[in-house]
Amino acid sequence: MFCKNCGKEIDDKAAICIYCGVSTSGTDISQRKKNTNVLAIVGFILSFFISIAGLVCSIIGYKRATEFGGKGKYLALAGIIISAISMAIVLLYFGGTAILRALMNRF
């Protein structure tokens, strides 16, 4: 068999490549994928465009950060804060506009 990392020929029963030290089983790739808190990343990005979706994803990513060894915890927290601030700005804008319209119609 050939090493997936360096391409050199190694024994078929080898657990790791003797040339580069990379595992010959697929567990390394799945562990790398498992160590990424995708919801924290998605929540952070969505917080700039779709605040409510960013807030939901960021909260879930924040709660699941312990499963990933704390990875993505601060990114998810930033997504929560950004989403909350942008939603507050939108609510204040529309709420303030409605109040001003009501006051203008009164006079």
For residue 79, what pLDDT band results from cuts at 50, 70 and 90? very high
Backbone φ and ψ of 18, nearest 5°: -75, -15
pLDDT score of 34: 60
Reference 87, options 50, 33, 43; nearest CA is 50
State what percent of residues in the chain have pLDDT above 90: 49
- Unique residue bearing structure tokens 């006079």: 107
Whether 6 and 45 map to the same domain: the answer is no
- Where in the sequence is the domain holding 3, given as residue range(s)? 1-34
Give the tens place of pLDDT for each residue, 20-63: 888 887 654 444 456 789 999 999 999 999 999 999 999 999 99
What is the total count of domains within the chain? 2
pLDDT score of 7: 84
User: What is 34-81 written as a DSSP string?
Assistant: HT--HHHHHHHHHHHH-HHHHHHHHHHHHHGGGGGTTTTHHHHHHHHH
pLDDT score of 87: 96
Whether 25 and 63 map to the same domain: the answer is no
Whether 51 and 93 map to the same domain: the answer is yes
Taking residues 56-84, report their average pLDDT: 95
Whether 94 and 61 map to the same domain: the answer is yes
pTM, 2 dp: 0.63
